[in-house]
């Protein structure tokens, strides 16, 4: 089995995802240092206790996630679930790599790019082939949904491909020509999608003000699930690591209905 030095992997991830470009809510990169030599990585959406235990059971030395630890404004005390998670990582010498906004935004490996692939969306691109974006840190992607005539069809396609029924706000018969999307909890960026002139906006979550804004602007809104929309970027990143370094990478999906 091939292996790689943890510092080499950390440097490649930083070069690939460029976390310094983002004003993020948690540290990106190596959050917990474990074994110096990495040969087996477990990839997942969130560094939960269940994912850590799955990594330990499989004899992995590294966990790679989108949602890591040490979020801003969290209680920093190490107790309860935080103590349990950290104790597991340290006791089993696990590396924990986490990339939040950088993994959302990457033009090929990111959550937005991979969600477009899964849903059959076609991003608009510029002269350099980069996606057309809007919103904070250019996190919202803009494009179209080829073959989709109306909002009802779009909602049905999203539900079928993600394996869960999205929450839909809008007229099912509304024609769909332009679409914007941003994975996770990006309901607060609906106004940016509206300004971009789209007919529908897809994200993971919904909140009370979102409903009113969608109704009042006429832009249809789909809340397709935070976890459901963010399962794909970390898989693509894990595959890129496996292809480049020849180490084993397994994706473990810890189900989350939200």
Helix (H) or strand (E) holding 161: helix 151-162
Residue numbers belonging to the annotated binding site: 66-67, 104, 226, 230
Distance CA(243)–CA(235), nearest Å, equals 12
123 has which bridge partners?
A: 143
Residue 71: φ, ψ to 5°: -75, 150
In a 10 Å sphere around its CB, with 0-12 CB exposed, 13-18 middle and 19+ buried, how is residue 83 labelled? exposed
Structure tokens at 185: 């909890």
Would you list which residues are annotated within the binding site for a divalent metal cation? 66-67, 104, 226, 230
Joined tokens for residue 29: 């990169």
What is the Cα–Cα distance from 117 to 102, expressed in whole angstroms?
18
| 242 vs 130: CA distance, rounded Å | 25
Q: Give the residue from 250, 249, 247, 252 showing the smallest Cα distance to 37.
A: 247
Q: How many residues does the structure list for the chain?
A: 258
C-alpha distances in angstroms, 223 versus 103, 112, 146? 20, 14, 20
β-pair partners for 180: 142, 201
CA distances to 150, 210, 222 from 153, rounded to whole Å, are 5, 21, 12
Tokens found for residue 66 = 């989108």
């Amino acid at each position: 089995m091939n292996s790689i030095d943890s510092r080499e992997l950390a440097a490649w991830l930083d070069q690939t995802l460029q976390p310094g470009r983002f004003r993020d809510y948690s540290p990106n990169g190596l959050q917990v240092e474990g074994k110096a030599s990495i040969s087996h990585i477990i990839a997942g959406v969130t560094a939960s206790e269940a994912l850590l235990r799955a990594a330990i059971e499989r004899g992995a030395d590294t966990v790679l996630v989108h949602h890591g630890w040490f979020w801003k404004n969290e209680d920093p005390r190490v107790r309860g679930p935080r103590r349990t998670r950290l104790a597991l990582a340290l006791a089993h010498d696990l590396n924990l790599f986490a990339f939040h906004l950088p993994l959302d935004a990457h033009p090929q490996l990111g959550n937005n790019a991979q969600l477009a692939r899964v849903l059959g969306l076609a991003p608009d691109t510029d002269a350099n082939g980069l996606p057309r974006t809007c919103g904070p840190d250019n996190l919202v992607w803009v494009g179209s949904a080829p073959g989709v005539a109306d909002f009802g069809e779009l909602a049905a396609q999203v539900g079928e491909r993600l394996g869960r029924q999205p929450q839909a706000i809008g007229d099912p018969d509304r024609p769909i020509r332009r679409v914007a999307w941003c994975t996770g909890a990006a309901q607060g960026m609906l106004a940016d999608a509206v300004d971009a002139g789209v007919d529908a906006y897809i994200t993971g979550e919904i909140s009370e003000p979102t409903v009113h804004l969608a109704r009042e602007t006429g832009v249809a809104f789909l809340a397709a699930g935070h976890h459901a929309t963010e399962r794909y970027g970390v898989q693509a990143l894990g595959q890129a690591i496996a292809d480049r370094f020849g180490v084993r990478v397994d994706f473990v999906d810890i189900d989350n209905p939200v």
